[in-house]
A and B are shown apart, each in its own frame.
Chain A
Amino acid sequence: MSPARPDSDSKPKVGVYVCHCGINIAAKVDIADTVAFASQLPHVTAAKEYKFMCSDPGQDIIQKDLRSGLIDRVVVASCSPLMHEPTFRRAMLEGGGNPFLFQMANIREHVSWVTKEKAAGTAKARALIAAAVERVVLHQPLQKTSVPVHPDVLVVGGGIAGIHAALTIADAGKKVYLVEREPTIGGHMAKFDKTFPTLDCSACILTPKMSAVRSHPNITLWSHSEVTGVDGYVGNFKVKVTRKARYIDEEKCVGCLECIEACVFKKGKTDDEFNLGLVKRKPVYVPFPQATPLVAVIDPKSCIEFKTHKCPKNCVEVCEPKAIDFTQTDRTEEINVGAVVLATGFKAFDARRISRYGYGKYPGVYTSLEVERLVNAAGPTGGEIIMTNGEKPKAVGIVHCVGSRDEKTNRYCSRVCCMYSLKLAHLVKERTNAEVYNFYIDMRTPGKGYEEFYEKLLHENVHFIRGRVAEVSDWAMTAEEKGKLIIRVEDTLIGVVRRIPVDMIILSVGLEPQPDADDVRRLFNISCSREGWFLERHPKLAPVSTFTEGIFIAGACQGPKDIPDSVAQAGAAAAEALALIDRGRVEIEPNTAYVTDELCSGCHTCSNICPYSAIVFNEETEKASVNGALCKGCGTCVAACPSGALQQNLFTDEQIFQEIKGVVSYV
């Protein structure tokens, strides 16, 4: 158990620096006591305290002690290593030391912030410091290695966030693959009529960006495609993209739509997904007139040719470029990229889950997204707000927070519903002059120009009733209520239960993670928050990074977000990806495994369990050896090696045994 030291002729000199972190640590850890305790630990030649160790003056203290020769190893007792380990490693390097002769003791997240009593906090801090000192004495000076970064970027998701990220990266001169699973890009924004609070036309600002994607020389747009495999690591991801068969040759199709005209179906019979089933589409279709790419797609589930093989195939006949190909199959493309931006968006809350609101039961109850299509000039009614019974509504109720801010569905605020409800209230009033009632719990309008928009609505003769809607029914109590939908609600401003009869109800549904967000998360090896949104590396300081290097997130896949925030985040994610790619090389943590030949018995245990095939067996010497470029540093092989021949840099058996000794010491 003799520690192997780099400079065996000189004894290690450890400096311990205890951070107050203002009162974050000092309130629950007796700093003077821990410093006094640290100063008498073996090998400790300096023990100091400072208010903020991560600040420049804090780092200076370490660097001065390094330069003067007082210390050659450092323990900083402060926050989590996931927060500031890179900061202090850099400080050590700049102070002329080796960045890996360093250990952090996490006395903030793991001590002061979670411990009630100061005495207990101080004892725990002491033990963690003792452990760090025991351990750092055994640290070896290490060098970081670097690997080249592939210059191409993958963007997953073709909504406004994905589009903006792809264009930003492509404009910087990098090659981008934009993968979208729907037949067209555009996402939710393409379905909206107007955007809040400016009321500018959604399509007018989105479609130019969509065509810019299509025509950009640096962007490869793969719609109707899905990422099905991800391998590799930061700078060198190998990605499999399955390009689903559209049965129409994308290269040949000119978007003339003749095939749709000629289809044997005179009328559509399948729910039009883009219009949320408000109209029907044919088996051959384009999702909407500005679809990008403007290439038709055949849905084999409803196409006669796929079902019976007896279709006259009028579509094939009229297609001059001969683009229709019933023999097409899914095919897989393999690409190499250096970074990935995930912008997979959200799913609108399913209003059926709250049965008392009558969605799916009463034809007069719509979701907000459906109404977006109804008010859209390119939508199923040409922009007229006409209900399924063919009539214009005379009274409309807009129910806020459907599926949001509720223990039974989602506890979080979906952040956009207040604003889009106000927008829809304005549009409905403008187009129908109906009485419009907003039922809200709180009005949440934080954003540039948002509160002003709310003020404007207050002056548009729109009614605002504060209270969560209890129920929607068609059970009339008076002649006036007959044939109407009745909204039962407690008006909490006047303290009265009211019944409001309306013709049309708009449910302002909240935002939820995509149903397959968990699969995508696993594919890219990132984490999700409790609710299922992709988890950022740090909520404040790394909002578009993930815990997996090289994978960035943008838009509503990270949490409910409006268009300006999605675009801003997409720009940030693009900048992070560009910074990574422009560096050209990426540094790899040196915590890889290595073999001590003399101890290796050649049993193959390690090479059999390595998930990255990083361990090869040399048949001649009958010893295992680790390929440092492939090793990701999990240490599974080290734990399995029966002869102790395998060790892991920064996590050797000896280092961990010493750390155990330290934390159990309960000093």
Chain B
Amino acid sequence: MSSIESGKQTFEPRIIAFFCNWCTYTAADLAGTARMSYAPNVRVVRIMCSGRLDPQFILSALREGADGVLIGGCHPGDCHYQEGNYKALRRFTLLKRFLRSMGIEDERIRLEWIAASEGDKVQRVINEMTETVRALGPLHLEAMSMERIEDVIPSELKAETVAASGGHHE
């Protein structure tokens, strides 16, 4: 996890990414096909739509040892499932508010709209995110009392999510 760089120990952040199948995961494939090399710190979990992103996944990633979480979805208006990315944005905004109150820096979680053709954006965002989180240092959330967080927050957060997404219907 840590490497020797010019004789100094540097911190290698662990970042987990949730990419939607249709836009961002495809863009990441394109970055590969085009051989656009980038920092090896980001590892991707594929979901069909950024709308599938349960805020608990982000909490889980941080608890399991991730220092940052990156979310990639289709550009607004382009969602393969009509509007899953808007739902992702709402949940992301709420979760960020919660994480801020926990003392977790905003920069540790990032949401980006990356279209299937934007392989270069995948490269750029991953490199930027790696540098940003590297500068912030390790999160060590596992040292916090996650049980307490889990007991109190998810129900509240769920309630907020419900309030934010309810009443909207095709």
Closest to B36 in A: A114
Q: Known: A659-B45, A664-B43. Contact between A609 and B32, CB under 8 A?
A: no
Task: List, in ascending order, chain B residues with CB within 8 A of A530's CB.
Answer: 117-118
Q: Known: A635-B47, A639-B52. Contact between A529 and B66, CB under 8 A?
A: no
Contact partner, A527, options B52, B65, B116, Cβ 8 Å: B116
> A626 vs B26: C-alpha distance in the bound complex, in angstroms?
28
> A98 vs B26: C-alpha distance in the bound complex, in angstroms?
26
Measured CB to CB, the closest approach of chain A to B98, in angstroms, equals 15
Among A170-178, A559-567, A573-581, A648-656, the stretch in contact with B? A648-656
> A124 vs B40: C-alpha distance in the bound complex, in angstroms?
7
Q: Known: A113-B33, A114-B36, A634-B52. Contact between A656 and B47, CB under 8 A?
A: yes
Among B56-64, B102-110, B145-153, the stretch in contact with A? B56-64
A381 interface contact, C-beta 8 A: no
Closest to B120 in A: A530
**A618-667 interface with B by 8 A CB criterion:** 632-636, 638-640, 642, 648, 651, 653, 656-657, 659-661, 663-666
Q: Interface size for chain B: under 10, 10 to 19, 20 to 34, or 35 or more residues? A: 35 or more
A82 interface contact, C-beta 8 A: yes
Q: Is the CB of B162 within 8 A of A529?
A: no
Task: List, in ascending order, chain A residues with CB within 8 A of B45's CB.
Answer: 131, 656, 659-660, 663
Q: Known: A529-B117, A660-B64, A664-B14. Contact between A109 and B23, CB under 8 A?
A: no
> A33 vs B96: C-alpha distance in the bound complex, in angstroms?
39
Q: Is the CB of A642 within 8 A of B54?
A: no
Q: Is the CB of A82 within 8 A of B61?
A: no
> A328 vs B110: C-alpha distance in the bound complex, in angstroms?
53
A264 interface contact, C-beta 8 A: no
Task: List, in ascending order, chain B residues with CB within 8 A of A664's CB.
Answer: 14, 16, 43, 61, 64-66
Q: Is the CB of B25 within 8 A of A639?
A: no
Q: Is the CB of B166 within 8 A of A110?
A: no
> A632 vs B165: C-alpha distance in the bound complex, in angstroms?
19
Q: Known: A114-B35, A664-B16. Contact between A640 and B83, CB under 8 A?
A: no
A522 interface contact, C-beta 8 A: yes
Task: List, in ascending order, chain A residues with CB within 8 A of B161's CB.
Answer: 640, 642
Mask of B13-53 contacts with A, CB within 8 angstroms, 1/0: 01010000111011011011101111010011111110111
Task: List, in ascending order, chain A residues with CB within 8 A of B78's CB.
Answer: 522, 527
Q: Is the CB of A634 within 8 A of B48?
A: yes
Task: List, in ascending order, chain A residues with CB within 8 A of B29's CB.
Answer: 80, 82-83, 106, 109-110
Contact partner, A547, options B22, B37, B40, Cβ 8 Å: B22
> A106 vs B42: C-alpha distance in the bound complex, in angstroms?
13
Q: Is the CB of B35 within 8 A of A635?
A: no
A46 interface contact, C-beta 8 A: no
Contact partner, B32, options A114, A522, A642, A651, Cβ 8 Å: A114
Among A11-19, A70-78, A115-123, A451-459, the stretch in contact with B? A115-123
A128 interface contact, C-beta 8 A: yes
Measured CB to CB, the closest approach of chain B to A633, in angstroms, equals 6
A525 interface contact, C-beta 8 A: yes
Q: Is the CB of A638 within 8 A of B54?
A: yes
Task: List, in ascending order, chain B residues with CB within 8 A of A612's CB.
Answer: 170
> A429 vs B65: C-alpha distance in the bound complex, in angstroms?
74
> Counting chain B CB atoms within 10 Å of each CB, which of A123, A127, A529, A642 scores highest?
A642
Q: Is the CB of B43 within 8 A of A128?
A: yes
> A120 vs B38: C-alpha distance in the bound complex, in angstroms?
11
Measured CB to CB, the closest approach of chain B to A443, in angstroms, equals 28
Task: List, in ascending order, chain B residues with CB within 8 A of A109's CB.
Answer: 28-29, 31-33
B137 interface contact, C-beta 8 A: no
Task: List, in ascending order, chain B residues with CB within 8 A of A81's CB.
Answer: 46
Q: Is the CB of A110 within 8 A of B116?
A: no
Measured CB to CB, the closest approach of chain A to B22, in angstroms, equals 6
> Counting chain A CB atoms within 10 Å of each CB, which of B16, B66, B162 scores highest?
B162
Q: Is the CB of A642 within 8 A of B158?
A: yes
> A642 vs B84: C-alpha distance in the bound complex, in angstroms?
17
Task: List, in ascending order, chain B residues with CB within 8 A of A529's CB.
Answer: 117
Mask of B131-170 contacts with A, CB within 8 angstroms, 1/0: 0000000000000000000000001001101100111111
Task: List, in ascending order, chain B residues with CB within 8 A of A640's CB.
Answer: 87, 161-162, 165
Task: List, in ascending order, chain A residues with CB within 8 A of B170's CB.
Answer: 610-613
Task: List, in ascending order, chain A residues with CB within 8 A of B47's CB.
Answer: 635, 651, 656
Task: List, in ascending order, chain A residues with CB within 8 A of B52's CB.
Answer: 634-636, 638-639, 648, 651
Task: List, in ascending order, chain B residues with CB within 8 A of A661's CB.
Answer: 60, 64
Q: Is the CB of B48 within 8 A of A651?
A: yes
Measured CB to CB, the closest approach of chain A to B92, in angstroms, equals 11
A591 interface contact, C-beta 8 A: yes
Closest to A664 in B: B64
> A524 vs B148: C-alpha distance in the bound complex, in angstroms?
47
Contact partner, A113, options B35, B51, B66, Cβ 8 Å: B35
Measured CB to CB, the closest approach of chain B to A69, in angstroms, equals 30
A108 interface contact, C-beta 8 A: yes
Q: Known: A114-B31, A522-B78. Contact between A605 and B166, CB under 8 A?
A: yes
Mask of B71-98 contacts with A, CB within 8 angstroms, 1/0: 0000001101111100100010000000
Q: Is the CB of B81 within 8 A of A634?
A: yes
Q: Is the CB of B1 within 8 A of A633?
A: no
B115 interface contact, C-beta 8 A: yes
Task: List, in ascending order, chain A residues with CB within 8 A of B14's CB.
Answer: 664, 666
Task: List, in ascending order, chain B residues with CB within 8 A of A142's CB.
Answer: none
Closest to A521 in B: B78
> A116 vs B21: C-alpha distance in the bound complex, in angstroms?
25
Q: Is the CB of A605 within 8 A of B43?
A: no
> A657 vs B38: C-alpha distance in the bound complex, in angstroms?
26
Measured CB to CB, the closest approach of chain A to B52, in angstroms, equals 3
Measured CB to CB, the closest approach of chain A to B160, in angstroms, equals 10
Task: List, in ascending order, chain A residues with CB within 8 A of B80's CB.
Answer: 525, 547-548, 634
Given contacts A110-B44, A115-B40, A639-B53, 9 further A-B contacts (CB under 8 A): A109-B31, A115-B37, A124-B40, A527-B26, A527-B116, A636-B49, A640-B162, A660-B57, A666-B65
Some 23 contacts from A to B, beta carbons below 8 A apart, are: A80-B29, A109-B32, A110-B29, A114-B31, A115-B37, A128-B43, A131-B45, A547-B22, A591-B48, A605-B162, A605-B166, A608-B167, A609-B87, A613-B170, A634-B49, A634-B80, A635-B48, A653-B56, A657-B57, A660-B16, A660-B57, A660-B66, A661-B60
Chain A residues close to B by CB (< 8 Å): 80-83, 106, 108-111, 113-117, 120-121, 123-124, 127-128, 131, 522, 525, 527-530, 535, 547-548, 591, 603-605, 608-613, 632-636, 638-640, 642, 648, 651, 653, 656-657, 659-661, 663-666
